[in-house]
Structure 1
């Protein structure tokens, strides 16, 4: 998938496209319905399928310091967009000046002139332009005026519409299995492995600690069955027991940390490597144990439980 950071990077030879617009945080199943429709429409017209997205997230610009963490950072968002068949993504740097554009200014500048849209695919609740004043009806009217079709994709979900906010609520409560139903995949975090206090290694359970700058919503404190993917997520997938919290048994860590014990592997050297940690199921809440022996006994149980959830054999 091509990635264009600004309209100046769009190839001069682009003769047309089918475009969809959104923040796409998490690229959940609701997003995928719109993205798949975009890709299918593009194939029918013989032009690229283009996603137009924003970085940083608009909420971080309008309400800095008060917004919840994103489900996915930009790297994962782009990877997930590529997986559903998008040919190119235009990443617009979101600013207050961009937010001030009227719906017509946004459409003519980006969809008509820059991307030469032949069709635009939007969700039922699409909003765009100054003050979110544009909606699907505005887009349809502008499409008729400027020569592109507009396809509207209905909301997706059973009892409740699938949304980024719902998936985030589930992740933050620790119900990552339910979040997977909305996301269509395990929730993930991406970060560089940094040196911790090496307690896990001393106890026989070495862990890969994610740097505080890791992207992705941190789940509720507890122990999870999951996977660690090496080489920025493109390499081997290894079964893991993942701990989230402050290690209360030792009581000397103030900030929450995410650390993954790759089960059955003590030969890995992951420091300074970017990895992806996927959360499959929460095994238990965080507990403070009286003494190291009780903690180690529980960690052995956690490893066995994680293997059972992941369908892996003991190693």
Structure 2
């Protein structure tokens, strides 16, 4: 899959494609349905498929302190889009200049002059342009004037409700990982590089891998039953995600994972963590001894679970 960062990096060879536009946070089953239609139409027309995304996502630009926690960072999103068979991603910097483009200017600069779109797949509730003035009907008219067709993506429902990134976040907040997996089409995962921490877990008898999150906010907090993957090697474990109130904290969210019966060096390796069950909320303990006892209890619960339900490779 080819990644193009910004309109200024588009070249004449990029003209002519089948496209869709959106945040695609989580690349959930609703997104997957759009991508399947995109790929099918691209094959039918003999053109590459292209997904247009924004970085940061618009709500992160307008109200960063209120923007919802991301389900997928850019790197993970790109991986999922590639796995879905997308040929090209155009990543647009969402800044003041882009925000001030009118709907007509956006169509001209991005869809017509930039990509030479022949067909566009979008949700029927899609809005774009300055003050979100552009909508599906506007795109239909713009397409008729500029030689591209527009089609509304069909709504995908799970348990009678529309699949959305918001609904995935709600399932995670409720620790309903079965529903989250149903909405995503896979277990919810966080991934990042293992970095050096305070080595407190080792001192407490449960060494942990400190996974770099690089996120303003995370959609989970607490202690969880997890499975992990690094370089094709799978291992069950238990993870804490939060601000670590029992130790000196920088106030940022941290992901610390104890891999059961693992030996080896994980530093600087990329670890993928899949979440399966919430064990408890993150809490502040009066002493390191109390923290140590709680961690030992968490590990015992994890061992009992994985003993009765071996990890699927």
Which TM bucket (shorter chain)?
0.7 to 0.9
Number of the residue aligned with 2:195:
194
CA contact (8 A) 1:171 1:217 kept: no
- Superposed CA offset, 1:73-130 (max 9, x none): 1101111111111110000001122122122211121111111111001112111112
Q: CA deviation at 1:15?
A: 4.6
Q: TM-score, normalising length from structure 2?
A: 0.88
What is the correspondence of 1:92-241 to structure 2 with a 5 Å cutoff? 92-158=92-158, 159-211=160-212, 213-214=214-215, 217-222=218-223, 224-230=224-230, 235-241=232-238
1:3 Cα deviation from its structure 2 partner: 0.2
Distance 1:15 1:291 in 2: 62
| Whole-angstrom distance in 1 between the partners of 2:230 and 2:172 | 22
Structure 1 residue matching 2:173: 3-state secondary structure: helix
Structure 1 pair 293–26 and aligned structure 2 pair: CA distance change class (3 A): closer
The reply to whether residue 37 of structure 1 matches residue 37 of structure 2 is yes
Structure 1: 5+ residue stretches without partners: none
3-state SS, counterpart of residue 13 of structure 1: helix
Matched, 1:307 2:306: yes
Equivalent in 245, 270, 275 of residue 271 of structure 2: 275
Q: CA deviation at 1:213?
A: 2.5
Runs of 4+ in 1 over 6 A off after TM superposition: none
For 1:213 and 1:46, the matched residues in 2 are separated by 39
Matched, 1:260 2:261: no
1:233-288 superposed Cα distances (whole Å, 9 cap, x missing partner): xx43332221224556xx33444432111222122x12233322221222344465
**What is the CA–CA distance in structure 1 between the aligned matches of 2:62 and 2:20, rounded to whole Å?**
22
Matches for 1:15-30 after TM superposition, within 5 Å: 15-30=15-30
8 A Cα contact 1:174 1:220, kept in partner: no
Mapped contact 1:170–1:179 kept (Cα < 8 A)? yes
Distance in 1 separating the partners of 2:142 and 2:33: 23
Q: Gaps spanning 5+ residues in structure 2: where?
A: none
Contact 1:239 1:310 in 2 (8 A): no
TM-superposition CA deviations, 1:269-314 (whole Å, max 9, x none)? 122333222212223444659747743641342332442586339x
| Deviation larger for 269-278 or 210-219 | 210-219
Answer yes or no: is 1:63 the counterpart of 2:60: no
Q: Distance in 2 between matches of 1:237 and 1:177?
A: 20
| Alignment deviations for residues 159-212 of structure 1 (CA, whole Å, 9 cap, x no partner) | 221111121222234333322221222222233322233333244432101235
Task: Give yes or no for contact 1:206–1:266 (8 Å, CA) kept in 2.
Answer: no
- Structure 2 CA distance for aligned equivalents of residues 167 and 229 of structure 1: 22
Output the aligned Cα RMSD.
Answer: 2.5
